[in-house]
Amino acid sequence: MPEFAHSLVGGIDLPGEGNFPGNTNPGFVSPALASLAPTKDGDYHLLTTSPLLNAGTPDIEGLGLTELDLAGNARLLDGRIDLGPHEGGVRPVEPIYEIRYVMQTARGAGDGSSWENASDDIQGMIEKQYVKQVWVAEGKYVPRRRADDVSTVSVGDRNNAFLMKIDVKIYGGFKGTETSLSERDLQSARRSILSGDLDNNDITVDGLSTSNRGNNAYHVVVCIGNAGEAALDGFTITGGTAYNDLTTQINGYDARRDEGGGIYVANSSPKINNVFIAGNAARSGGGVYLIWSKATISNFVLQKNTASSSGGGISVDFGYPTLINGRITGNRNRLCWRWVLQLWPRRECSQLGDQRKQRYNTQGGSTLFSHCLVEGVEANAGTGNLTPTPIRSLNLHCHGPGRLLRVGITVFQDARR
């Protein structure tokens, strides 16, 4: 048997200095199948992850090395040659996975390429190259990355949020075995919960944050800038607590930390569907805050959110959103407000009883509701409306130039108050 040194032969454990076990993966870029031999196909450059890099003999005297390798690159890099005729590594190309999968506990390779290899990092999957959809199984998830720096994991940082990305659709409500969206059963008890409870100490009722939220994330979900076809679908959103009067620059926009505890949308128009938004708090827009937005929110519940100023459920500034098939009830403000609906220029709408319970505040734009239920605000336009007695309304707040359109509003008194 010939003598080998600093070599690798597949399937054979060679004796001698610097040899690799026969089961070592050489880390070729794209080797041809053995069954195709003899062949000239395949790319036998080494990947940057290859163990054969800088593993050649340290003594190159007498080897007759040329200045260039087989591909015309410098033969000696980093002071030591690589095994084989090529020098230097090739960065591996990330596989094209248009769907990434997330579970509470990572599985397998944890790269999100399948349910069997699910990641536990929602934002990490959103940021993956080529991704178009992120599927999230049932369970509770807290944001691990700052909304202004999603490339870095920063566990426990109150600036953490789930940041939506242009054209990426995020779906929740999966069991973790589905192969198509149609297999989701959103009527089941399975819930994918996006929570601002960073230190896992909130007092909760049925999974919804109710108190002890002092160290929670300022926002749970953030969408700023061009959203394209971005969507959020099938989630419970809870525990966001936005009472800091400073700003954070996200995608070039100064986002306020005292608005939109549950969802904060600015200069953006995502599609938000099949969501339950409850147990969030902020100065304005406890559940949802929209500014300069044409977002569509459909099949939703906004319930038991709180604002210290305006819009316990939702606050809209200078926006043109559309809300379809939703219920907005049981949200609260802490301050008294004269206007149930505040427009610019100001126009007095019905003053409905105890304004400390206002949950709706709108300042401008054109907010379109269809087949919705807003406690304490009587529907006056559109189809599918009910007209129960308006009692109290602190659910919504809208601001700015324009008009308010309410289509399909269903209004009722919350008997629990």
DSSP state at residue 36 = G
Confidence of residue 323 (pLDDT cuts 50, 70, 90): confident
Element (H, E) at 361: strand 360-370
Summarize pLDDT for 86-126 with one digit per residue, the tens: 888 877 677 889 999 999 999 999 999 999 999 999 999 99
Whether residue 407 has pLDDT greater than 70: no
Phi, psi of 356 (to 5 degrees): -65, -10
Query: Residue for token digits 């369970």?
Result: 139
Residue 145 to residues 125, 127, 157, 190, Cα–Cα distance (Å): 12, 11, 8, 25
Q: What is the pLDDT of residues 357-400, one digit of tens each?
A: 334 445 555 566 665 666 665 544 444 544 433 333 345 555 54
Q: Which of 18-22, 118-122, 336-340 has the lowest mean pLDDT?
A: 336-340
Least Cα distance to 224 among 266, 255, 170, 163 occurs for 266
Q: Which amino acid is at 133?
A: Q
Structure tokens at 401: 């130039």
Task: Give the predicted TM-score (pTM) of the model.
Answer: 0.71
pLDDT at residue 380 in the model: 40
